[in-house]
Structure 1
Amino acid sequence: MGHQVTGKQLRTLVRLTFGNAASRIYLGLVLAVAVLVAVDTLFVSHDDASLSGVWLFLLAAPTVVVFLVGGSMAGADAGGPAWFLHAALVVSVLVQACALGWFSRLLSGPRRGRSPRPRGA
């Protein structure tokens, strides 16, 4: 018997990934670095290779390493084709944003059942 994701579980994952300050800050940082890498790649000429793309992989670490090692174990040469590297990067960033959301929710405590604080207390 397989486990199917319900609509409620999917909404929870989306909320954890995109619906809190920690995840949004992380995703904003990744987006800003991705734009800088794209500008550097497309519009700046270098005498030798630019290392700007390394920053994206550092932001996606450690989960991107798991995907790259998994790809190598599955027979991909040197990290695999470009589409695999891009997919691994995107999935890694989303997994980490979700983990940040979960951790943020864990630190903030349960929201359900909280009684409002009386004024002055």
Structure 2
Amino acid sequence: MAASSRSLPQILRHTLVNPAALGYLALVAAVGVWVGVDALFVEHVDGSFAGIWLFLVTGPTSFLFVTLPGALPFIGIAVGAVTQAYVLGAAYRWFLDRPTHRHMRRDAGIGSA
């Protein structure tokens, strides 16, 4: 099936449902749980910098939202996570779908006896 004949949900599923993208999203979720536990259950004399880790894990995309007012920086974390997962998933698919050098040389007649 050609990539141009796929619908947007099919493209997203094909790119986001693979070990690289899902592993990255699991990492972001684990960091989010850690930040939530730190914010809710750990008492600090001073403020905690644990929330910065969400921006670091989802950067550089989430850095574009840091200076926005209100809750928009937190939307940037979600946008950054999905964007980075999409890029990782696309790279993973590209790496798996590309022909290997051995097959390319065999098809070209190089190195065959």
TM class by smaller structure = 0.7 to 0.9
Asked which structure has the greater RCO (Cα within 8 Å, sep 6+), the reply is 1
Structure 1 residue 65 corresponds to structure 2 residue 85: no
1:60-100: CA deviation from partner (whole Å, max 9, x where unpaired) = 111112334xxxxxxxxxx1233201111101100110111
> How much is the aligned-residue C-alpha RMSD, in angstroms?
1.9
Q: Runs of 5+ in structure 2 lacking a partner?
A: 100-113
Structure 1 residue 110: deviation in Å? 5.1
Instruction: Work out the CA distance in 1 between the residues paired with 2:65 and 2:69.
Output: 13
- Could you state the TM-score of these two structures normalised by the residue count of structure 2? 0.76
What amino acid sits opposite 2:79 in the alignment? V
Following TM superposition, the consecutive aligned residue runs of length 4 or more in structure 1 with deviations greater than 2 angstroms are: none
Tell me which residue corresponds to 2:89.
101
Highest Rg: 1 or 2? 2
Tell me which residue corresponds to 2:13.
14
Tell me how many residue pairs correspond in the alignment: 95
1:2-55: CA deviation from partner (whole Å, max 9, x where unpaired) = xxxx972222113312x1000111000110110010000011110101111111
- 1:1-121 to structure 2, matched below 5 A, reads 8-17=7-16, 19-68=17-66, 79-109=67-97
In percent, how many aligned pairs have the same letter?
36
- Could you state the TM-score of these two structures normalised by the residue count of structure 1? 0.71
